[in-house]
Amino acid sequence: MVKHSVEFCAERDLPELFGLFADWYKFNPRMGERNFFDWQFRDTPNRLGEGEYDFLILRDQSGQIVGCLGFVGFEFRLGDRIDIGGWTHNWRAEAQGEGGLALLGRFMEMVTNRFLLRLNDKSLSIARMLRIPILPTLPRFWAAIDADRVTELFGVSDPADRVILQRSSQCFRRNIATPNAKRVNRLNSEDEFLFNHLKGVSNYARRSGRYLNWRYIDIPMHTYRIVRTDSAVGIYRIETVMGTDATVIRLLEWTFGPDEAAGALTTVMAEAASHNPVLVDFHCTYRTLGSLLAPFGFVPQGATKMSMPDLFRPTYRSGGYAVAIDLPPHRTARIIDFDSWYITIGDSDIDRVKL
């Protein structure tokens, strides 16, 4: 007897699903809001499925929803080629035996180029079983803007760590370049930001105006800010550290080369300074961007003995996020040069305004 069934989510399923989300995603209340769910899984630039939503639900024998898997389609560049891929989102099937595999299998039937980010121990074991190349931790780079406040807020006690914070802050504050990027509210849908000026990166989700507007401007209940030059773009948001008056600048997109980075950072700080920022960070598989930010005090996660928190509502050290890329030929031993990819936490559902 079949224990589970997998089907596309329909509008009629939303009340039951949102009721479950209140328990499953306690710290992400946006998931249970209709306008957010519609934006994420219905009103996307590249639909992949045939249902009302690009969202699968798992039902048990009684017909109750017991699991789910969402997905979002996107165009990506692989060298000189443009193709379609899909990110997985909200893959959940706790205590459902083979139900989680049934959800993933249905997704894989639809999508040839599969991208998975923020894998837990169970999903990592499945990825390994399927011989999917994995990057265990998405690289993160951060800079202290106010070293003393960072020390106080995050309990940095090691003397060597404090020295790193002070050096980072001094480097960051020495940047007095003339602002060279302009703040825009929205991008032209026909724009596309390429990476020809950055050596070694050739694979990435297309940063078109249409995609970036959907991801960062049309998203309900979020405020992202865009700065740009003719050839590069930066997108960030300012996040309050829970229970304090301090904030963190979260860079989600940063494609500025060495000639523009200093002025672009000045542009960001011109707006962010009034929000009392103490730290700025950026996650990206393309490590060279971290190196390009090093003159401004950015250091890799792991530079200090006490790891720098990466979540701030509440403050928490997650340990990082694994990335898996499953391109054909599937279920064979493959090698992915993750340093040739530009993937950030803006590519998936990780960066969200939560509690």
How far, in Å, CA of 268 to CA of 182, rounded? Answer: 9
d(CA 325, CA 85): 10
* CA 22 from centroid of its chain's CA atoms: 22
Question: Cα-flanking dihedrals φ and ψ of residue 348, to 5°?
Answer: -125, -155
Whether residues 146 and 265 fall in one domain = yes
CB 283 within 8 A of CB 140: yes
Question: What's the pLDDT score for residue 355?
Answer: 61
Which pLDDT belongs to residue 57?
Answer: 98
- Residue 312: phi and psi, rounded to 5, are -130, 5
pTM of the model: 0.95
What would the mean pLDDT of 325-336 be, rounded to a whole number? 97
What distances in angstroms separate CA 30 from CA 39, 232, 257, 354, one per listed residue? 11, 30, 35, 7
Query: Any idea what the CATH number is for the domain that residue 282 is in?
Result: 3.40.630
CATH number reported for the structural domain that contains residue 105 in this entry: 3.40.630.30
Residues 298 and 223 in one domain: yes
Domain for residue 296, yes or no? yes
The answer to whether residue 127 is domain-embedded is no
Burial (CB < 10 A; 0-12, 13-18, 19+), residue 310, is buried
Say what the pLDDT of residue 1 is.
47
Q: Is 73 within the bounds of a domain?
A: yes
Tell me the pLDDT tens digit for each residue of 187-238.
999 999 999 999 999 999 999 999 999 999 999 999 999 999 999 999 999 9
Judge if 283 and 214 occupy the same domain.
yes
Count of structural domains within the chain: 2
Same domain for 107 and 165, yes or no, is no
Nearest Cα to Cα of residue 84 among 120, 110, 118, 56: 110
Q: What type of residue is 98?
A: E
The tens digit of pLDDT for each residue in 258-270 reads 999 999 999 999 9
Q: Is the pLDDT confidence value at 334 over 60?
A: yes
Strand partners, 226: 184, 235
25-71 residue pLDDT tens: 988 889 999 999 999 999 999 999 999 999 999 999 999 999 999 99
Condensed to tens digits (0 to 9), the pLDDT of residues 236-256 reads 999 999 999 999 999 999 999
Residues 218 and 310 in one domain: yes
Average pLDDT over residues 283-296: 96
State pLDDT tens for residues 63-111. 999 999 999 999 999 999 999 999 999 999 877 778 999 999 999 999 9
Closest listed residue to residue 40, CA positions, set 27, 343, 209, 32: 32
Helix axes 159-173, 147-154, angle to 10 degrees: 140
Identify whether residues 163 and 96 lie together within a single domain: no
pLDDT in tens, 108-165: 999 999 999 989 888 999 999 999 999 999 999 999 999 999 999 999 999 999 999 9
Cα separation, 36 vs 55, whole angstroms:
13
Select from 181, 101, 192, 167 the least CA-distant residue to 303: 167
- Shared domain for 32 and 107, answered yes or no, is yes
Same domain, 160 and 297: yes
Q: Is residue 167 part of a domain?
A: yes
Q: For residue 13, give its domain range.
A: 5-112
Q: Are residues 147 and 287 in the same domain?
A: yes
The label of the residue with tokens 């229970």 reads 243
